[in-house]
Amino acid sequence: ASVGHEVWLAALAWGARCVLLVNAGSVPGKAEHALRQQLGYCHALLAGMQIDAQALRYVSTDQLATECIPAEGLPDAATFAAGGNKRQLATLALDHLWSRSTERRRDIDLPAGAPYGRVDVDTQRCTLCMGCTSVCPAKALSAGDETPRLDFFEVNCVQCGICASACPEDAITLHARYLADPAERRRPAKLNEEAPFCCVQCGKPFATRRVIDNIIDKLSGHAMFASERARRRLQMCEDCRVVDAVQDSEAMQAG
């Protein structure tokens, strides 16, 4: 249990004909559960690359003598170095195995909970508030430069689910898979984009139409936004909003 799938896959990529994980009876229950989960992910990945499941097995000491059977479908040995972090090592191994596979599938479905995958965004619910980009620990989600746009870098996504939990509109769902094509995996994918909403006073873009409409709708019954001028202020950027509020005697008296 001291090594993970990145080591198992790297061993196969470097030329091992078979990797056996031997349990002599001392592996704790929680560690064994985690091992079997990772085995499930790896078997799905290997199957997607037409590699025999015999390449990676979990056995007891009693089975050891009879289980060392070379697997079929493994490629020639790779030459990459074992540098970088665990994810980088796993990616190098998977890229090598995929590049030598007989059928280069674009993507491979994985069991739920796998550390690889994409996020799906319901564009009808997403307001591009960018809350998900601020909580993503892996930098898999990114805001557009000058345009309200949500980009996704699948190469970074670890399927932690923090973005889905943080989304105020419940617009994000996770999809466990491995995007096998290295070039496509590294390209950003556009998940959602809208034209910017411009300040009605100065014309500066500062939000999206959907965000402004939601704010106006939620504050429609609020006493502070009963007047037309106060409601119009919601369509202004932060600078113009302050200036207009200071010049509005009714708003200053209410404050």
Task: Give 142-149's long-range contacts (Cβ < 8 A, gap of 24+).
Answer: 142/188, 144/193, 146/196, 146/205, 147/193, 147/195, 147/196, 148/193, 148/194, 148/195, 148/196, 148/207, 148/208, 149/190, 149/192, 149/193, 149/194
Confidence of residue 254 (pLDDT cuts 50, 70, 90): low
Q: Poorest-confidence range of 36-40, 51-55, 145-149, 227-231? A: 145-149
Closest CA to 45 of 78, 14, 91, 2: 91
Q: Taking residues 154-175, what's their average pLDDT?
A: 96
Residues 40-93 pLDDT 10s: 999 999 999 999 888 999 988 888 766 666 667 777 899 999 888 999 999 999
pLDDT at 170: 96
255 pLDDT above the threshold of 70 = no
Identify the residue with better confidence: 206 or 48. Answer: 48
Predicted confidence at residue 82, as pLDDT, reads: 86
The predicted pLDDT at position 250 comes to 73
For residue 253, the model assigns a pLDDT of 65
pLDDT at 213: 86
Inform me whether the pLDDT recorded for 94 exceeds 90: yes
